[in-house]
A and B are shown apart, each in its own frame.
Chain A
Amino acid sequence: GENVEQHPSTLSVQEGDSAVIKCTYSDSASNYFPWYKQELGKRPQLIIDIRSNVGEKKDQRIAVTLNKTAKHFSLHITETQPEDSAVYFCAASSFFDMRFGAGTRLTVKP
């Protein structure tokens, strides 16, 4: 089955700096790659996603890149703010199956 590796497990940045989280997947059938943000005690919420026919997608301070050949995708957050502090999960999906990475705890220091 699908195996999704996510790095780093923890990330601490200064407010205003950029943060990058990387994921790799193993199933070449995966065609949808969402990123979720989960604040403490709350439900995971989708922040951005990318499909296999697209190499890059941007939404304000957040961007995601996908390299299908290498089977890896990344989340980029620019101009980080303290409210960006949370756990971020990547996922890879094929049809209904969705496999998640272990998560990255991002801390943005003011």
Chain B
Amino acid sequence: ETGVTQTPRHLVMGMTNKKSLKCEQHLGHNAMYWYKQSAKKPLELMFVYNFKEQTENNSVPSRFSPECPNSSHLFLHLHTLQPEDSALYLCASSQGPAGNGGEQYFGPGTRLTVT
């Protein structure tokens, strides 16, 4: 157990549904990340939060809405998704930026299928 948990582990949703992914880290880190992992594509960084403040938003469509109420919890709110949004969504946490010694620890991911 790396100390980063994600729920649910699997999610099937229709294009008109609204759902949320949850991530929790028990490592005392102050930065949290959302990544998207699709087949045959590199891991894509979506959002970064440092001390609850969003520091990165890599041109992610507005149908993905992140929320970080505190340094231990991170949510990804989903609405009106498209089938191409089906992927593994990974959460990660680190103690500060990677370049300053902040190794990223990943959660197990949520396998999302949009029908």
Chain A residues close to B by CB (< 8 Å) = 1, 4, 6, 31-32, 34, 36, 42-46, 49, 51, 89, 91, 93-103
A25 and B48 alpha carbons, distance in the complex (Å): 21
Q: Which residues of A contact B48 (CB under 8 A)?
A: 96-97
A residues near B69, Cβ cutoff 8 Å: none
- Chain B interface residue count, Cβ-Cβ cutoff 8 angstroms: 26
Q: A97-B45, A101-B42, A102-B40 are in contact. Are A43 and B98 (CB under 8 A)?
A: no
In the complex, the number of residue pairs spanning A and B with C-beta atoms less than 8 Å apart equals 63
Stretch at the interface among B60-68, B77-85, B103-111: B103-111
In the complex, whether B74 has a CB less than 8 A from a CB of chain A is: no
Interface of A is mostly: strand
B 25-46 to A, binary, CB cutoff 8 A, 1 in contact else 0: 0000001010000001111110
Who on chain A is nearest to B103 by CB? A46
Query: Is B45 in contact with A98, judged by CB distance below 8 angstroms?
Result: yes
- B45 cross-chain contacts in A, Cβ below 8 A: 97-99
17 CB contacts below 8 A, A to B, read A1-B58, A4-B42, A32-B98, A36-B106, A42-B108, A44-B90, A45-B106, A49-B103, A93-B97, A93-B99, A95-B98, A95-B99, A96-B48, A97-B48, A99-B42, A100-B42, A102-B42
